[in-house]
């Protein structure tokens, strides 16, 4: 398994950042896809250093079961940037690439109640839930200038900011520590057409595992989490294609509803 050179890492990171800044679609993945998550995170870290915004949390994705042995992980991460976070009460427009990879996901979003140290790289699910002060419902918009990015595999997704686009934060889940999180339900609608249903039970080992994996992965990368940081725990009704102009609505039963409209990403000023 070859390791990318620093020059290779920097070149890929610059291409992703330039494409996102200019809202330009790429013809395909730029160069050879990384062989490992280590190389993929090196590209991601380099791209984060080139992006003019602060990281306020992490989105979590699941690695396909058949690829977990190869990559040595069941979860992957991407950064959530401050200016990409919106609140459901604002009825936000969310930008995604027009003609490239653009999807929406129903999410449960953990908000941390304390800082976490980089010196602690092993957590139990119970310890992970204990650092969560609030659990909210929401929508993640995921996108990439690379069409069909998911088809290139988990390492490709990681390298391009984890394919993160934006996050819409909805209301808090009342009494969540006392509830059976795997019993929570949600449904996703695009243009009033029901495209998926499910809940945290669709995440292997549930919400707690996503938080645990985030705490462990960020610690190993030397990226401390702070009180108030967000963890978007994973797609719970599936990954649903979206285009500019689409209206997205996720119903979380008694825990509320979150809406947004998709718009075409524009070049950053």
- Is a pLDDT exceeding 80 seen at residue 261? yes
Which are the contacts of 81, defined by CB distance < 8 A and separation ≥ 6? 51, 53, 54, 55, 56, 164
Whole-number average pLDDT of the chain: 97
**Is this model's pTM higher than 0.95 or not?**
yes
Report, as an integer, the average pLDDT of 222-247. 97
- Is a pLDDT exceeding 60 seen at residue 1? no
pLDDT digits (tens, 9 = 90+) for 30-66: 999 999 999 999 999 999 999 999 999 999 999 999 9
Q: Do the Cβ atoms of 162 and 140 come closer than 8 Å? A: no
């Amino acid at each position: 398994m070859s390791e990318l050179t620093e020059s290779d890492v920097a070149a890929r990171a610059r291409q992703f950042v330039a494409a996102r800044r200019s809202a330009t679609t790429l013809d395909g993945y730029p160069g050879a896809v990384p062989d490992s998550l280590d190389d993929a995170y090196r590209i991601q870290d380099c791209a984060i250093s080139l992006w003019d915004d602060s990281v306020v949390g992490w989105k979590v994705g699941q690695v396909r079961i058949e690829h977990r042995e190869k990559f040595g992980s069941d979860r992957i991460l991407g950064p959530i940037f401050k200016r990409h976070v919106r609140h459901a009460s604002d009825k936000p427009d969310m930008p995604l690439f027009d003609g490239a990879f653009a999807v929406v996901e129903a999410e449960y979003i953990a908000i941390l109640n304390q800082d976490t140290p980089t010196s602690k790289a092993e957590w139990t699910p119970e310890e992970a839930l204990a650092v969560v002060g609030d659990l909210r419902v929401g929508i993640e918009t995921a996108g990439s200038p690379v069409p069909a990015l998911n088809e290139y595999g988990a390492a490709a997704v990681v390298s391009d900011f984890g394919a993160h686009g934006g996050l819409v934060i909805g209301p808090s889940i009342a009494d969540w520590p006392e509830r059976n999180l795997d019993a929570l339900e949600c449904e996703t609608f695009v243009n009033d057409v029901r495209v998926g249903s499910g809940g945290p039970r669709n995440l292997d080992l549930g919400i707690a595992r996503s938080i645990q994996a985030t705490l462990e992965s960020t610690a190993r990368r030397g990226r401390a989490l702070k009180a108030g940081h967000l963890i978007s725990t994973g797609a719970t009704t599936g990954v649903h294609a979206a285009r500019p102009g689409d209206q997205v609505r996720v119903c979380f039963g008694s825990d509320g509803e979150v809406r947004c409209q998709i718009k075409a990403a524009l070049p950053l000023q």
